[in-house]
Amino acid sequence: MPDRRRRRHGSEAGRSPAPRGWGAALAVSAVVLAAAACTPLPPGNYGQEEGRSRPPLSPPWFGGYLDVTLTPSLRLQDLPPNGTVTTVLSFIGAHPKKPCEPSWDGFYTLDEASRRIDLAGQLKSFRAAGNSAAISFGGQLGKELAGACATEDALVTAYSTVISKYGVDTVDFDVEGDGLKDAAAAARRGAAVARLQAGRPADHPLKVWLTLPVSSEGLTSDGEKTVAAMLDAGVDLTGVNIMVMDFEPLDPGRTMFDAAVSAAEATHRSLSKLYGAAGEQLDSGQVWHRIGLTPMIGENDVKGQVFSLADAERLNSFAVERGIGRVSMWSLNRDAACGAGAQRQVGSAAANNCSGVKQEAGQYARLLGKTLTV
């Protein structure tokens, strides 16, 4: 297949959309429990009601997104060792010719991914080594299934097909671009996810993350509406992972770490209000635990913005100090120095298979995941 176009995660409100994509991973449990296929249930609010107890908080985790269809390919077995992790495989979107059928970024159906890149085989050996995987739906390249499936029942079937095939208990919904403005899709997504959670055994809950773009001033208004739609549907939302990358022009001397912290603090204020409005009165520490941070390592798409190794080390310390629930990165494919032949993608200051900074292979994952990997 032809070489891939530039991929990135979201940016602040008001920026022109750039070509797409990205990825991230976790390090909680070495055990992966196969998810049973979820039977569609009647519509309704199946989530957390006010006063209902939540399951115990999961330990904080780290991991990077892996773009499974990027060429040259990076297999799960090729990742530099960094403790026991749950790699976030990206991205599942709508099939270009069969809109409500899941596909890997429009390149492979689920069966084709097994045949052509041996994804099922990769997962089997990866898990045998004590690791696990999560799945990310959406991204900026294609269309998220909630916008492509016409009915809630069809969306439940599409999501549950992926969850069952790959046996995951953590899912990530990366909502960007036009998808952020699609209120009907947000409502379908929330209702479908609530039904999927309701269909799981109590001891094997489905953990759900929303991944959203931010500016240094926090979530966009559309991002806040996306969170509210999930909570209003009754989804037990594990957390909101913010893409701390591709910021608006930064003041002289202001680092990417500084901008990420500013975005995190503003997101903390927003989530306190959003969870409260949904009937969950959380203390400050509980809100921090429902925040994830995902930088774009090395050179960002915005020229001159570089998330350095020093930024990575400081962001890890900030995450540990605040009790951040998740730290990820875009992407595992990029966690290496660029060779002489590395090419920046059209319209971007970044390459999609290397960081653009002097580093050891896997160094960003080690710094961002310090004390967060098992």
Which tokens is 54 given? 């939540």
d(CA 177, CA 17): 7
- Residue 184 clears pLDDT 50, i.e. is over it: yes
C-alpha–C-alpha distance, residues 324 and 319, integer Å: 5
Mean pLDDT of the 265-292 span:
98
> What pLDDT digit, counting tens, does each position of 299-344 carry?
999 999 999 999 999 999 999 999 999 999 999 999 999 998 787 7
* Residues 45-86 pLDDT 10s: 333 334 444 556 789 999 899 999 998 889 998 888 877 777
- Does residue 25 have a pLDDT over 90? no
- The CA-atom distances, in angstroms, between 257 and each of 221, 254, 327 are 23, 8, 13
Block residue for tokens 């499974």: 68
What string of DSSP letters covers 314-333? HHHHHHHHHT-SEE--B-GG
pLDDT at 35: 35
What share of the chain in percent tops pLDDT 70?
Answer: 85
Q: Give me the amino acid identity at 115.
A: R
Q: How confident is the model at residue 374 (pLDDT cuts 50, 70, 90)?
A: low
Q: Which residues pair with 296 in a beta bridge?
A: 330
Residues 368, 75, 210, 106: is their CA dihedral positive or negative? positive
Domain-wise residue ranges, the chain = 24-368
Radius of gyration of the chain (CA): 19
Q: What mean pLDDT is reported for the chain?
A: 86
Q: What type of residue is 284?
A: S
Q: Model's pTM, two decimal places? A: 0.86
Where residue 345 falls among pLDDT bands split at 50, 70, 90? confident
Q: What is the CATH number of domain 24-368?
A: 3.20.20.80
Reported as a single tens digit per residue, the pLDDT across 186-238 is: 999 999 999 999 999 999 999 999 999 999 999 999 999 999 999 999 999 99
Share of the chain above pLDDT 90, in %: 75
What angle, 0 to 180 degrees and rounded to 10, lies between the N-to-C axes of helices 309-322 and 256-277? Answer: 30
Q: Counting beta carbons within 10 angstroms of the beta carbon of residue 5, is it exposed (0 to 12), middle (13 to 18) or buried (19 or more)?
A: middle
